[in-house]
């Protein structure tokens, strides 16, 4: 937790867990690899991993799980999805629902190229979108994106829309997507811009989209710019 250097806290508060937080052991153990975790407005924690980095589960992804930190209870979301949301991106919509987009349609295959093991083809992205409803604790299918994205980043803007950037494509030449899409409730996905061109669109696109998967952009309070918070290899 970052605290401003300009604020001096009383010594009694500097060690107060209610102020600085604290760690404690948790007895809960996930049944499946929790690649993605999100704290819902209900207080429960949603965990999901799709095929969970197991190519054998690609066509039969693992179900999501819900955990209640207050009671310690957990349960499986007994609902099959049509696609694999392993390495998807996710962000919250204004009403608290969780938007999940992208994922995996194929695992990488290692091949020897000039004495080096190269993933060829690499992981291939999915264009599917799902929405998790915290109160009903169920998934619904959303509109597909225009292209597959493996390990994209989704960011909620100040106006409630969600922007999707980067992610490896589904088809050859298997590159990180330059195109950017914006999701809004009722309209689904709409194209935004090309990341290598300047734009005055509400979410100006960083060059990071053209050369990284899973970048870490963040919006400004007015959603007018989109500075790059990532780093190579992040």
- DSSP track, 114-152: TTEEEESS--EEB--EEEEETTTTEEEEEPPPSS-BBS-
Q: How confident is the model at residue 87 (pLDDT cuts 50, 70, 90)?
A: very high
C-alpha distance from residue 91 to each of 100, 121, 155, 160, 226 (Å): 7, 28, 6, 10, 16
234 against 223, higher pLDDT = 223
pLDDT of residue 120: 86
Write the pLDDT tens digit of every residue in 179-209.
899 999 999 999 985 443 433 334 444 444 4
pLDDT of residue 129: 97
Contact present, 141 and 100 (Cβ < 8 Å): no
CATH class label, 83-210: mainly beta
Domain ranges of the chain: 83-210
Mean pLDDT over the full length of the chain: 82
pLDDT of residue 223: 52
pLDDT of residue 118: 83
Task: Name 180's Cβ contacts closer than 8 Å, sequence gap at least 6.
Answer: 163, 164, 165, 191, 192, 193, 194, 195, 203, 205, 209
Which residues are 129's β-sheet partners? 101, 142
- Residue 206: name the closest of 183, 170, 180 by CA: 180
Contact present, 183 and 164 (Cβ < 8 Å): yes
pTM over 0.85: no
pLDDT (average), residues 40-46 = 96
pLDDT of residue 207: 46
Write the pLDDT tens digit of every residue in 141-172.
999 999 999 999 999 998 999 999 999 999 88
pLDDT of residue 208: 44
Two structure tokens written together for 217: 């952009």
Q: Is the dihedral of CA 126, 127, 131, 137 positive or negative?
A: negative
Task: Name 15's Cβ contacts closer than 8 Å, sequence gap at least 6.
Answer: none
């Amino acid at each position: 937790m970052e605290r401003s250097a300009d604020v001096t806290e009383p010594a009694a508060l500097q060690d107060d867990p209610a102020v600085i937080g604290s760690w404690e052991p948790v007895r809960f153990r996930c049944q499946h690899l929790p690649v993605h975790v999100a704290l819902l407005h209900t207080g429960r924690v949603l965990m999901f991993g799709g095929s969970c980095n197991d190519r054998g589960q690609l066509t039969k992804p693992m179900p999501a799980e819900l955990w209640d930190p207050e009671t310690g209870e957990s349960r499986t979301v007994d609902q099959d999805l049509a696609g694999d949301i392993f390495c998807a991106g996710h962000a919250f919509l204004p009403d608290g629902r969780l938007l999940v987009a992208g994922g995996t349609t194929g695992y990488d295959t290692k091949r020897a190229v000039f004495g080096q093991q190269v993933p060829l083809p690499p992981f291939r992205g999915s264009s599917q979108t799902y929405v998790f409803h915290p109160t009903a604790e169920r998934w619904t299918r959303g509109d597909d994106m225009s292209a597959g994205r493996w390990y994209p980043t989704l960011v909620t803007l100040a106006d409630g829309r969600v922007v999707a950037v980067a992610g490896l494509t589904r088809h050859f030449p298997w590159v990180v997507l330059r195109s950017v899409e914006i999701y809004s409730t009722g309209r689904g996905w709409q194209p935004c811009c090309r990341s290598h061109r300047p734009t005055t669109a509400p979410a100006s696109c960083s060059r990071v989209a053209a050369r990284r998967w899973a970048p870490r952009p963040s919006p400004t309070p007015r959603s007018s710019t989109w500075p790059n918070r990532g780093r190579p290899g992040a």
